[in-house]
């Protein structure tokens, strides 16, 4: 089989439950759904750390964050690490990276492994964004590109321009990284008034009271009531609303802009698919759509991500490649962001290097469900009670049926709503009986054996990936 091209489209904070193919009840994404209709939808694709910069490092390197050392938003990637773009480029691929990089800037952090890169500085801006373009003449550093326009459309134009310049006889790999739908959720002019006259359905758990949950989870500042001043709601809260009415108002206020920025992404995906059709490359190109992690869309009363709960843990993953993948197929195998790099290597006919910890899921793309495939995954969020959201550091294990989370809090004598917080807290969810994760059953006698097995699995997974359990200092 000839080596395929790879169009890797990754957005920022796009939760699966805001994609039509995943059953969204809050928006429509006809072009994203085309990838699912012609390819495969993964229903259990998870990130190993639900935060932007670390997930990007895991995608590029195929390693967990304690190995690539990009554990938090404040750590940047060492660009001398082995990444799949470098390997594909060395194997003859034409490679490019356009859009949000978010892994640091400067000689040690700028993108490497690309013939062409043009990226947003840091988070970048939605409107009239400057971009940084690597100098491709051997000089170090980058030039600043200044233009007017909307970020999702500019990234799309840049991607098509680059594809127009590729040589026809060598395969290409393009990383198209959208800024949207990351906050501060500024739509394009085209979508300013989309959803003006509709009420977006609320999630079932919007008024979750967090009873039974860890005290550090109850103390988080990630509720819809915490949206501002983190986010400018661009409106005064109407006078006279009671608490419930204000939560509902805040939800509508933010979710509409979030979905408007996704509408532009969907348009962009349509443009890219049309481009592949028009240039006769659709059959020879692997198209992937994913996001660096999920997002709470008012679920549990929260916005943002970070936690190991399903809405945040799940990454959308749609993939199309007619030569290998059956159309309109669904795979429930558990795949992780660390698996992407080895999978792309195998698709490109490149040997997967020993450094990569993930596993190629090419057999799953072919419709197989190997008996030896993983039935559990390891997760770790490292940022402890950061200034914006007060989310505690934690690690845990998710199996096909359960989830165990350990909040290994620093014993700082913290105080939660119900008094001092224990230095270590646990949550256990029965995903079959309680798929929305509203009841923490940790410590309940009927779960004693499941709990012990999960603790054993957590230890086993930590040893397998080479991470160390937290030890209080």
Interaction site with Ca ion (CB under 5 A): 12-13, 52, 292
Shortest distance in whole angstroms from residue 327 CB to Ca ion:
29
Structure token pair of residue 365:
């793309």
User: Checking phi first, is residue 242 left (phi over 0); if not, alpha (psi -120 to 50) or beta?
Assistant: beta
User: In 3-state terms, what secondary structure has residue 398?
Assistant: strand
In the complex with Ca ion, the residue whose CB is nearer, 73 or 450, is 73
| 437, 309 Cβ separation under 8 angstroms | yes
The alpha carbon torsion through 365, 14, 191, 183 (nearest 10 deg) reads -160
What's 356's DSSP letter?
A: -
In the complex with Ca ion, the residue whose CB is nearer, 71 or 440, is 71
Shortest distance in whole angstroms from residue 311 CB to Ca ion:
13
Shortest distance in whole angstroms from residue 123 CB to Ca ion:
10
What is the C-alpha separation between 410 and 393, in angstroms, rounded?
9
In the complex with Ca ion, the residue whose CB is nearer, 11 or 357, is 11
In the complex with Ca ion, the residue whose CB is nearer, 314 or 360, is 314
Per DSSP, helices labelled H in 46-150 are 52-61, 65-68, 84-90
What's 194's DSSP letter?
A: T
What is the C-alpha separation between 435 and 437, in angstroms, rounded?
5
- Provide the b/e sequence for 272-285 (b: ≥16 CB within 10 Å): bbebbeeeebbebb
Residue nearest to Ca ion (CB): 52
In the complex with Ca ion, the residue whose CB is nearer, 13 or 427, is 13
Shortest distance in whole angstroms from residue 11 CB to Ca ion:
8
Residue in the structure block whose two tokens are 């971009």: 131
Shortest distance in whole angstroms from residue 261 CB to Ca ion:
13
In the complex with Ca ion, the residue whose CB is nearer, 183 or 253, is 183
In the complex with Ca ion, the residue whose CB is nearer, 295 or 321, is 295
Shortest distance in whole angstroms from residue 14 CB to Ca ion:
9
Shortest distance in whole angstroms from residue 120 CB to Ca ion:
13
Shortest distance in whole angstroms from residue 292 CB to Ca ion:
4
In the complex with Ca ion, the residue whose CB is nearer, 13 or 158, is 13
3-state percent breakdown (helix, strand, coil) of the chain, nearest 5: 30, 20, 50
Of 181, 379, 219, nearest to 295 (Cα)? 181
Shortest distance in whole angstroms from residue 177 CB to Ca ion:
10
What is the C-alpha separation between 25 and 22, in angstroms, rounded?
9
DSSP 282-334: GGGEEEEEEESS---SSGGGB-S--SSSHHHHB--EEEE-TTTS-TTEEE-S-
What is the C-alpha separation between 335 and 374, in angstroms, rounded?
8
What's 191's DSSP letter?
A: G
In the complex with Ca ion, the residue whose CB is nearer, 293 or 451, is 293
In the complex with Ca ion, the residue whose CB is nearer, 52 or 273, is 52
Shortest distance in whole angstroms from residue 58 CB to Ca ion:
12
């Amino acid at each position: 089989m000839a080596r395929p091209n790879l169009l890797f489209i990754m957005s920022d904070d796009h939760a699966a439950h805001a994609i039509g193919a995943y059953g969204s009840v809050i928006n429509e994404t006809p072009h994203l759904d085309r990838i699912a209709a012609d390819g495969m939808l993964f229903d259990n694709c998870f990130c190993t750390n639900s935060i932007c910069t670390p997930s990007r490092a895991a995608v590029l390197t195929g390693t967990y964050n304690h190995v690539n050392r990009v554990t938090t938003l404040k750590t940047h990637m060492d660009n001398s690490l082995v990444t799949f773009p470098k390997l594909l480029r060395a194997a003859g691929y034409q490679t490019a990276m356009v859009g949000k990089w978010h892994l640091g800037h400067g000689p040690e952090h700028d993108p490497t492994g690309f013939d062409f890169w043009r990226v947003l500085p840091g988070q970048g801006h939605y409107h009239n964004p400057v971009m940084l373009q690597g100098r491709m003449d051997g000089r170090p550093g980058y030039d600043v590109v200044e233009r007017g326009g909307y970020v999702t459309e500019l990234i799309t134009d840049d991607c098509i321009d680059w594809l127009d310049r590729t040589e026809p006889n060598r395969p290409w790999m393009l990383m198209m990284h959208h800024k949207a739908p990351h906050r501060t959720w500024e739509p394009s002019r085209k979508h300013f008034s989309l959803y003006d006259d509709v009420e977006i359905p609320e999630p079932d758990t919007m008024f979750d009271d967090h009873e039974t949950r860890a005290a550090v989870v109850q103390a988080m500042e990630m509720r819809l009531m915490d949206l501002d001043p983190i986010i400018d709601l661009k409106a005064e809260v109407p006078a006279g609303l009671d608490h419930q009415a204000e939560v509902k108002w805040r939800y509508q206020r933010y979710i509409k802009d979030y979905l408007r920025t996704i509408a532009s992404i969907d348009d962009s995906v349509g443009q890219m698919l049309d481009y592949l059709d028009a240039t006769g490359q659709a059959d020879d190109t692997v198209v992937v759509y994913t996001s660096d992690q999920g997002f709470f869309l008012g679920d549990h009363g929260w916005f943002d991500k970070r936690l190991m709960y399903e809405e945040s843990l799940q990454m959308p993953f749609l993939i199309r490649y007619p030569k290998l993948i059956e159309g309109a197929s669904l795979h429930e195998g558990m795949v992780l962001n660390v698996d992407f790099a080895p999978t792309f290597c195998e698709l490109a006919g490149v040997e997967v290097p020993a450094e990569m910890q993930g596993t190629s899921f090419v057999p799953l793309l072919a419709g197989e469900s190997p008996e030896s495939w993983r039935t559990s995954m390891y997760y770790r969020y490292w940022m402890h009670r950061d200034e914006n959201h007060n989310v505690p550091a934690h690690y845990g294990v998710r199996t096909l049926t359960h989830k165990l989370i350990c909040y290994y809090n620093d014993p700082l004598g913290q105080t939660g709503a119900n008094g001092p917080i224990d230095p270590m807290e646990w949550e256990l969810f029965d995903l079959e009986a309680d798929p929305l994760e509203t009841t923490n059953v940790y410590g309940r006698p009927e779960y004693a054996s499941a709990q012990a097995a999960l603790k054993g699995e957590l230890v086993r997974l930590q040893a397998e990936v080479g991470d160390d359990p937290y030890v209080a200092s």
